[in-house]
Amino acid sequence: MLITELLGIEIPLIQAPMVGVSTPKLAAAVSNAGALGSIGIGASTPEQARAMIRDTRALTARPFNVNLFCHAPAQPDPARERAWLEHLRPLFAEFDAEPPATLREIY
């Protein structure tokens, strides 16, 4: 079975489900064009996720992808984080930028 048959799409393309960038409108447009549109709900509350799914369904009758995170949250490790920031310091310097003082989990 071809991936297009499995997913019910005509174009073998999956739009990236990027949190904060992929919207119901974009996912529906991609699905309506024959590929697989995607929404990223990993940083959403359950209510926000339901709304994004509902909004996407209202814009397309075609299949679409819902992407979420299902991993354990990162555990802080200040020593490891400092080491990574120091390792990356030269890359920041190339752009006349200062690395952050600490890292934080955004999801």
* Residue 74, helix vs strand vs coil: coil
**Hey, where are the domains in the chain?**
3-67, 72-107
| Mean of per-residue pLDDT scores for the chain | 94
> Which of the four pLDDT bands, split at 50, 70 and 90, describes residue 93?
very high
- At 69 the pLDDT is 83
What is the tens place of the pLDDT at every residue in 3-43?
999 999 999 999 999 988 999 999 999 999 999 999 999 88
Instruction: Measure the CA–CA gap between 69 and 51, rounded to whole angstroms.
Output: 17
Alpha helices in the chain (DSSP H): 3-7, 24-32, 46-59, 78-94
